[in-house]
Amino acid sequence: MLDDGLAVYRMLAKTGPEDRIIVYGRSIGTGVATFIARSEKPRMLILESPFLSLIDLASHHYPFLPRPIISMFLRYPLRNDRRIGEVACPVYLFHGAKDDIIPFDHSVRLERLIRSPHRLIRIEGGGHNDLSDFGAFDRELEQILR
């Protein structure tokens, strides 16, 4: 899965300069997007509703399961927490304050690990699947893409 994402990026990079490529990941796709941005040199990385890792997310939803058991069953733990600090390009995190699938705290904790220029945009009232319904989301995204 990660290799496929990287292959698509590299094919795209052959068509023009990398500094014109924006890597965008949403929800589970933030794991692949972060992997690509860490490995390559895009203009920026935009993450919508990101998570620390699938291990942390599963632990949140299934607190009665020990983390080692969860880790044993995850083929792709997608460790954004381990990769985000190695991303060299600017990083923008969008997250709904009322996300009941991936808690907002995941973005707060990820932000602390980012070493490149970055910004966390909290969408008040936003859930997991409705950020684009909020004017603040559109305004912030438009500003970033200028």
Residue 136 C-beta-side C-alpha neighbours within 13 Å: 13
Tens of pLDDT along the chain (146 residues)? Answer: 899 999 999 999 999 999 999 999 999 999 999 999 999 999 999 999 999 999 999 999 999 999 889 888 888 889 999 999 999 999 999 999 999 999 999 999 999 999 999 999 999 999 999 999 999 999 999 999 99
Q: For position 6, what pLDDT does the model report?
A: 96
| Distance of alpha carbon 5 from alpha carbon 78, whole angstroms | 13
Q: For position 129, what pLDDT does the model report?
A: 97
- Measured CA angle at 80 (ends 43, 122), to 5 deg: 75
Q: How far is CA 32 from CA 25, 127, 131, 133, 143, in A?
A: 7, 21, 20, 24, 24
Which among 104, 101, 144 has a CA at the least distance from the CA of 124?
A: 104
Instruction: Give, in words, the CATH class of 2-145.
Output: alpha beta
- Asked whether the beta carbons of 118 and 84 are under 8 A apart, the reply is no
Q: For position 75, what pLDDT does the model report?
A: 81
Q: For position 71, what pLDDT does the model report?
A: 86
- Asked whether the beta carbons of 51 and 74 are under 8 A apart, the reply is no
Q: For position 102, what pLDDT does the model report?
A: 98
**Domain boundaries along the sequence of the chain:** 2-145
